[in-house]
Amino acid sequence: MYGTYPTKTFPNHYSIATGLYPESHGIVDNIIYDKRLKTEFIDIRKTNDAQYFNGIPIWNVLERQNITTACLFWPACDSPINGF
């Protein structure tokens, strides 16, 4: 496993979950600024909006195969991504 740049927690965690680099999954920092809403999300875990998360995390891949999963304390855990 290789770390990604930027060396921030949430971009790296979501890279592990999706297998994508930050420029592909869209999480490039621990803080998100939404120009449309003019809002800054200091803690990305509080964003339940799937529009911020590209890629399909491993727990969604497994659920699509009818495998029961649990996810705690990971970015996008409680965001419905692609219907899961």
DSSP conformation letters of 11-71: HHHHHHHHS--HHHHS--SSSEEETTTTEEESSGGG---GGG--S--HHHHHHHTT-----
First to last CA, the chain: 26
Query: pLDDT for 29-76, tens place per residue?
Result: 888 787 887 877 776 656 666 777 888 899 989 999 999 998 888 877
Domain edges within the chain: 1-84
Q: What is the reported pLDDT for 41? A: 74
Mind telling me the catalytic residues?
9
Report, as an integer, the average pLDDT of 8-26.
91
